[in-house]
Structure 1
Amino acid sequence: MLHKLFVVLILFFQRACSSSLANAHQNAFRDEKTVVQKEYLKWVNHIGCKYLRHTWKSEKQKTKNKNKLKPCKTIKVRQNKKSKAKSSSGHGHFLSAQQAISSLPVTTNCRVEIPATMAYITLEGAGADKTIIEWDDTADRLGQSGQPLGTYGSATFAVNSPYFIAKNITFQNTAPSPPPGALGKQGVALRISADKAAFIGCKFIGAQDTLYDHTGRHYFTDCYIQGSVDFIFGNGLSLYHACHLHAVTNTYGALTAQRRESFLEETGFSFVNCKVTGSGVLYLGRAWGTFSRVVFAFTYMDRIISPDGWYDWGDKNRDMTVFYGQYKCSGPGADYGKRVKWSRELTSQEAQPFITLDFIGGHKWLKNLRISTPTHVLA
């Protein structure tokens, strides 16, 4: 797959669990909408630009794609304490995912696959309800350096390696949902800071800032993403196909916070054939970046969506620079009639670049990763 691929995978912790969150009563939206929206605006002004300040710089990796489809190594992780890691070959059975990862060389020219548990390049679980990686760090918690972890460092699972695949796994940050206006309570379930990554049949569960779609091109399909405030955020170029986006708040929240800062940046989030459900009042997105870009197409929206749809982060200048659009969405929350004037109901021609794999340049690299993609929309 890759020649001399440099990979760094940060795994903070793992353990199995199960969780369930109850949905709030839908009628609260009608009775409390006005109050909630006013409180939301107060909260946004209170948070201001102090929210999510952590930045990350990465060097571009230049690799030649040597299309080796079959993995040349298989590493198995077994949590049976009676087992002994086979160190002679460096690729036997290991007691933990970290031991398996540490056994790999810094450079490799083939895909390493670990089935059914954790993995270095391909991470495949036995099912999202069976294979769960969880932890509970938040941005204000102190790290080993004695300094707060920050949003970037709060991730339960972080990926910095390109051509990463995760299948049928739950990534969860179990930190409790913070009260409105609380600072430093961002708790990331997964951070993806690498190019050409794919997530298939995965779940991402958290509250504030669940999925840090940080940088790079990404493909999410048949995934479940749950949170309260900005629970999909970052500056990636990502296509979300057939995903279930679920809000868990009794007050107000925002689904996306996309951070495109320049008209020249080729970043943004596109949601195609998705479903938005949950509780409370939810904005489809707010403009973390001056040129924030998010599109929803063929997506069902429950009545939790605020009629305004979008928020400009309290900066009216961003009304002229953001790109927020809908295309052929359905459901009680999809009514475009009361949307903010600076959002768009896209024409077929305007929507086309956002609803195909061309949006992430995915026709080639997803094929090389042996990932099948739907043809009815993503042609």
Structure 2
Amino acid sequence: MASKSLFYLNTLFILLLSIFCLKSSSSSLLDTETDYTRWVSWNVHNHQKRAMLRAKSTNQAPGADGKLVLDDKLRQAEMNSVRVNVSQDGTGDFKTIGEAINSIPPYNTRRVIIAIKPGVYREKIFIPRTLPFLTFLGDWSEPPTITGNDTASVSGNDGKPLRTYQSATVAVDANYFVAINMKFENTAPHVIGTRQGQAVALRISGTKAAFYNCSFYGDQDTLYDHKGLHYFNNCFIQGSVDFIFGSGRSFYENCHLNSIAKKVASLTAQKRSNSSLASGFSFKDSTITGSGLIYLGRAWGDYSRVVFSYTYMDKIVLPQGWNDWGDQRRDSRVYYGEYKCTGPGSNLTGRVTWARVLTDEEAGPFIGTYYVEGDTWLISP
């Protein structure tokens, strides 16, 4: 009899515990949704507040001609710009890009325009933090190509694998970098099923960097948008697996994103690792084409953030649109938004439930160069 009573007590305890856990889970989910809604509301109001401050600053800036005044460091650098020429035939100041970079004294404080003649430059380029204000200027009709084929598995000088970070053909740690009419390339192919095949064409780790009419060719991990404020205008970016990735806060405007995936891959892998980071990728007036089937993005970071606005999406975009990288906890944390996109791949019918169709207000913070605070550092190419 005592045994039977004990059985009923245990059963009752388990039942009460299950109800408590269910309520706690529902409460936790509700709290998460509430926090998420609060963040969206805060983001909209913060954007509106900053817009008002920008308008006020513009009206008060003497001689600004409708634009905010450049930050002091950049203004000083632009006033004292110099130009050097690189040509492989010996008619310039230098034959290689590396030689031109090495000629610049450390802690440079003026804009150095490196005008690069057409050609294929087989160089591995690194621009350290001590060399800000550099510009690579190519020929519009025949852009020069900087090419390499390192992968994450290749051994460096120390005998250890380079890893993704050091596989880049061109790596920029310096701030205020600009590239105009350039091709950045990594020719290493991605072989499905192999590891450490990451092969970066360009890594940008400095802040306040801009790319105009540039092309980025690669396969796996083409463009490492590592960190900082970045602007890409009229650029062509090609790859297969995660071919735009990193923790940058970047605005891509009028860009062509071309997949060469053989099966299923992802266009972006944005790594926003906590809710307080202001990072994320925003694409506006762009085009998505190519081969294979692709997700618009997969969540490399728990709070990954990517927005596509006014973008044409071809049929290669998977109906689900987005991927949580196998971690369902990210579904309530990521910010994946679409706004007034077109094309067969923009059909929202099969989208994952945690993707967002943005309202006009919600899209507002992401559809201008103010998203990357460009008013004080973007200059005409």
TM range (shorter): 0.7 to 0.9
**Per-residue CA distance 1:113-143 (angstroms, 9 max, x = gap):** 1223499701011137541111000001111
Structure 2 residue corresponding to 1:370, chosen from 370, 376, 380:
380
Q: Is 1:346 aligned to 2:355, yes or no? A: no
Which position in structure 2 is the counterpart of 1:4?
none
Structure 2 residue corresponding to 1:250, chosen from 259, 262, 273:
262
CA shift, 1:73, in A, is 2.1
Inter-partner Cα distance in structure 1 for 2:143 and 2:84: 20
Which position in structure 2 is the counterpart of 1:199?
211
- 1:102-117 alignment to 2 at 5 Å? 102-117=102-117
Cα distance 1:202–1:352, how it changes in 2: closer, same or farther (>3 A)? same
Q: Is 1:72 aligned to 2:81, yes or no? A: yes
Q: Which residue identity is paired with 1:97?
A: I
The answer as to whether partners of 1:128 and 1:203 remain within 8 angstroms in 2 is no
Structure 1 residue corresponding to 2:149, chosen from 115, 132, 136:
136
The answer as to whether partners of 1:69 and 1:370 remain within 8 angstroms in 2 is no
The total of aligned residue pairs comes to: 298
Structure with the higher fraction of residues in helix conformation: 2
The answer as to whether partners of 2:87 and 2:116 remain within 8 angstroms in 1 is no
Inter-partner Cα distance in structure 1 for 2:285 and 2:370: 16
Q: Which residue identity is paired with 2:288?
A: V
Cα distance 1:72–1:347, how it changes in 2: closer, same or farther (>3 A)? closer
Q: Aligned to 1:204, what secondary structure does the other structure show?
A: strand
Query: TM-score normalised to the size of structure 1?
Result: 0.76
Q: What fraction of aligned residue pairs are identical, expressed as a percent? A: 48
CA RMSD, Structure 1 to Structure 2 (Å): 1.8
Cα distance 1:215–1:182, how it changes in 2: closer, same or farther (>3 A)? same
Inter-partner Cα distance in structure 2 for 1:201 and 1:108: 26
Q: Is 1:274 aligned to 2:286, yes or no? A: yes
Q: Is 1:178 aligned to 2:185, yes or no? A: no
The answer as to whether partners of 1:298 and 1:328 remain within 8 angstroms in 2 is yes
Q: Which residue identity is paired with 1:79?
A: Q
Inter-partner Cα distance in structure 1 for 2:344 and 2:355: 18
**Per-residue CA distance 1:230-277 (angstroms, 9 max, x = gap):** 000000000000000000022111000000011100000000000000
Which position in structure 2 is the counterpart of 1:360?
372
CA shift, 1:363, in A, is 1.3
* Higher Rg: 2
Inter-partner Cα distance in structure 1 for 2:324 and 2:142: 36
Larger RCO, structures 1/2 (Cα 8 Å, 6+ apart): 1
Inter-partner Cα distance in structure 2 for 1:130 and 1:222: 14
Inter-partner Cα distance in structure 1 for 2:98 and 2:252: 29
Q: Aligned to 2:243, what secondary structure does the other structure show?
A: strand
- 1:274-353 alignment to 2 at 5 Å? 274-353=286-365
The answer as to whether partners of 1:128 and 1:170 remain within 8 angstroms in 2 is no
Q: Aligned to 1:79, what secondary structure does the other structure show?
A: coil
Query: TM-score normalised to the size of structure 2?
Result: 0.75
CA shift, 1:358, in A, is 1.6
CA shift, 1:103, in A, is 1.2
Unaligned runs of 5+ in 2: 1-70, 122-126
CA shift, 1:109, in A, is 2.0
- 1:48-59 alignment to 2 at 5 Å? none
Structure 2 residue corresponding to 1:169, chosen from 173, 182, 188:
182
Q: Which residue identity is paired with 2:150?
A: D
